[in-house]
């Protein structure tokens, strides 16, 4: 381990209790572990400040509201939103895509329209579009990938019908290959054919600043639990004009300004509150705000360390007989691979026996895995608390799996 890398891992590891279990957590693309400051912020909120937000007049309600809106401001700053009001809290990335598709996309779609999704989309950013297109009589078309795993935007520009192409659903970073699209290039390509773009930023936000407003994207989604925050909370970011045009999907308390008693048309609350009906996951939002502060305070070189770990893992597993890399060569934090003659679940099981946690299977990204790989994979994914010893354990475990289960 290099000096600088060792320092990053050493400092970061102090914040994580799960390490007491001795597990090498290489499943960070599925969910990251939660650092002490995030747990402490949620605990403190739940113990001393718990109240519904934006309603009570007592002081605990005011504290809860301040904590909730403070987290919105933290998130907005972290992702480069133009204002906190562009951040809508949702139950996660999946919920955020649903809100966008049901509230904005679907009401505007008509027969003959085109909706585009890249081949690399996670099911969360694919299935809602498939259904919306089908029900509107629109067509869902797929943006192919280049050899390096990025969306082939030249092909998209050539194939999309100007005036009929309405939306492009595109991931920032693939959860299978780690290939990284450039959000500004996605936005530019979509806009050049008159479409809007929804960026799935879920695999990107823990590894770099989004710069949402500057990117030119129209909407973006992500989940708190993949950026060291809690589960059950995520974000839909949208340009003000998109959010203003979006219909609320879940109706109920605190999302409405005026409700008459005779069934007349209600007056919705302002954006973004009109999209947060009911009592939200306040402790989760507070935890997400704390996760942003924690990310901001990471030691210098943390992301470079993550990339070095992934590169070392790539080099290591590549050297094992029968292993074929399925992630991009320069993929940031993700290393996906197959082992000839060994089912990915057997590889993952063999690794689990060595206390190394990885993901195996279709990774909720069947379109890409079916068309490009032809089957499931094993995925190791890295965070700054990982170490070179853990990379070594991964490589040794894969070698052992090949020896035990292989041809």
Ligand X SMILES: Cc1ncc(COP(=O)(O)O)c(C=O)c1O
Name the residues annotated as catalytic: 364
Say whether residue 124 binds ligand X (CB under 6 A).
yes
- d(CA 338, CA 334) in angstroms, rounded, equals 14
Cis before 199 (ω within 30) = no
Between 153 and 220, whose beta carbon lies closer to ligand X? 220
Say whether residue 381 binds ligand X (CB under 6 A).
no
Between 26 and 269, whose beta carbon lies closer to ligand X? 26
- d(CA 358, CA 349) in angstroms, rounded, equals 9
Query: 3-state SS of the chain: helix, strand, coil percent to 5?
Result: 45, 15, 40
Candidate residues 93, 133, 169, 383; the one interacting with ligand X per rule CB under 6 A: 93
Instruction: Considering only the stretches 118-126, 212-220, 276-284, 331-339, report the one whose residues sit in contact with ligand X under the rule CB under 6 A.
Output: 118-126
Do residues 90 and 138 lie in contact, with contact meaning Cβ atoms separated by under 8 Å? Answer: no
Between 86 and 121, whose beta carbon lies closer to ligand X? 121
CB of 226 to ligand X, least distance (A): 7
Instruction: Considering only the stretches 12-20, 120-128, 240-248, 312-320, report the one whose residues sit in contact with ligand X under the rule CB under 6 A.
Output: 120-128
Angle at 140 between CA 121 and CA 147, to 5 degrees: 45
Do residues 212 and 81 lie in contact, with contact meaning Cβ atoms separated by under 8 Å? Answer: yes
CB of 220 to ligand X, least distance (A): 11
Binding string, 125-164, against ligand X, x = CB under 6 A?
Answer: x---------------------------------------
- d(CA 115, CA 14) in angstroms, rounded, equals 46
Between 65 and 118, whose beta carbon lies closer to ligand X? 118
Instruction: Considering only the stretches 41-49, 100-108, 122-130, 366-374, report the one whose residues sit in contact with ligand X under the rule CB under 6 A.
Output: 122-130
Between 177 and 387, whose beta carbon lies closer to ligand X? 177
Instruction: Considering only the stretches 199-207, 259-267, 285-293, 345-353, report the one whose residues sit in contact with ligand X under the rule CB under 6 A.
Output: 199-207
Instruction: Considering only the stretches 195-203, 239-247, 268-276, 277-285, report the one whose residues sit in contact with ligand X under the rule CB under 6 A.
Output: 195-203
CB of 344 to ligand X, least distance (A): 16
Say whether residue 122 binds ligand X (CB under 6 A).
yes
CB of 320 to ligand X, least distance (A): 26
DSSP letters spanning 34-61: PPHHHHHHHHHIIIII---SSS--SHHH
Angle at 370 between CA 205 and CA 368, to 5 degrees: 25
Do residues 24 and 356 lie in contact, with contact meaning Cβ atoms separated by under 8 Å? Answer: yes
**How many residues are listed for the chain in this entry?**
407
Say whether residue 336 binds ligand X (CB under 6 A).
no
Candidate residues 92, 103, 183, 376; the one interacting with ligand X per rule CB under 6 A: 92
**Cβ contacts of residue 125 below 8 Å, gap of 6+?**
93, 97, 117, 169, 171, 198, 200, 221
- d(CA 294, CA 12) in angstroms, rounded, equals 10
CB of 163 to ligand X, least distance (A): 29
Candidate residues 200, 218, 276, 346; the one interacting with ligand X per rule CB under 6 A: 200
Q: Distance of CA 406 to CAs 36, 281, 340, 370, Å?
A: 41, 46, 7, 22
CB of 35 to ligand X, least distance (A): 18
Say whether residue 202 binds ligand X (CB under 6 A).
yes
For ligand X, how many residues bind (rule: CB under 6 A)?
14
Say whether residue 94 binds ligand X (CB under 6 A).
yes
Candidate residues 171, 215, 336, 338; the one interacting with ligand X per rule CB under 6 A: 171
Q: Tally Cβ neighbours within 10 Å of residue 370.
A: 13
Between 5 and 232, whose beta carbon lies closer to ligand X? 232
Burial (CB count within 10 angstroms: exposed 0-12, middle 13-18, buried 19+), residue 297: exposed
Provide the binding-site residues for ligand X, judged by CB under 6 A: 92-94, 122, 124-125, 171, 175, 200, 202-203, 223, 225, 364
């Amino acid at each position: 381990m290099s000096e600088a890398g060792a320092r990053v891992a050493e400092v970061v590891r102090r914040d994580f209790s799960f390490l007491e279990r001795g597990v090498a957590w290489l499943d960070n693309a599925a969910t990251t572990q939660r650092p002490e400051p995030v747990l402490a912020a949620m605990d403190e909120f739940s113990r001393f400040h718990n109240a519904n937000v934006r309603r009570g007049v007592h002081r605990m309600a005011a504290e809860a509201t301040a904590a909730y809106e403070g987290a919105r401001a933290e998130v907005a700053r972290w992702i480069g939103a133009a204002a906190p009001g562009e951040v809508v809290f949702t139950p996660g990335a999946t919920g955020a895509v649903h809100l966008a598709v049901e509230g904005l996309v679907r009401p505007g779609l008509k027969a003959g329209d085109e909706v585009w999704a890249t081949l690399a989309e996670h099911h969360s950013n694919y299935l809602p579009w498939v259904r919306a297109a089908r029900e509107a009589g629109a067509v869902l078309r797929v943006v192919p990938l280049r050899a390096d795993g990025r969306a082939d935007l030249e092909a998209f520009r050539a194939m999309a019908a100007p005036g009929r192409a309405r939306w492009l659903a595109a991931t920032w970073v693939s959860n299978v290959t780690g290939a990284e699209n450039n959000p500004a290039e996605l936005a530019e390509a979509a806009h050049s054919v008159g479409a809007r773009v929804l960026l799935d930023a879920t695999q990107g936000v823990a590894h770099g600043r989004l710069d949402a407003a500057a990117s030119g994207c129209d909407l973006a989604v992500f989940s708190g639990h993949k950026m060291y925050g809690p589960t059950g909370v995520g974000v839909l970011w949208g340009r003000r004009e998109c959010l203003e045009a979006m219909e609320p999907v879940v109706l109920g308390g605190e999302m409405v300004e005026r409700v008459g008693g005779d069934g007349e048309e209600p007056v919705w609350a302002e954006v973004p509150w009109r999209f947060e009906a009911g009592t939200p996951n306040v402790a989760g939002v507070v935890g997400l705000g704390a996760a942003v502060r924690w990310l901001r305070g990471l030691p210098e070189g943390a992301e470079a360390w993550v990339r070095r770990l992934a590169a070392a893992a790539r080099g290591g597993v590549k050297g094992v007989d029968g292993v074929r890399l399925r992630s991009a060569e320069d993929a940031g934090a993700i290393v996906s691979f197959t082992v000839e003659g060994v089912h990915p679940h057997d590889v993952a099981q063999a690794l689990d026996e060595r206390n190394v946690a990885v993901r195996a299977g279709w990774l909720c990204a069947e379109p890409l895995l079916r068309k490009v790989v032809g089957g499931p994979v094993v995925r190791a994914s890295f965070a700054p608390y990982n170490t070179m010893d853990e990379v070594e354990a991964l490589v040794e475990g894969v070698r052992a799996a090949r020896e035990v289960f292989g041809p």
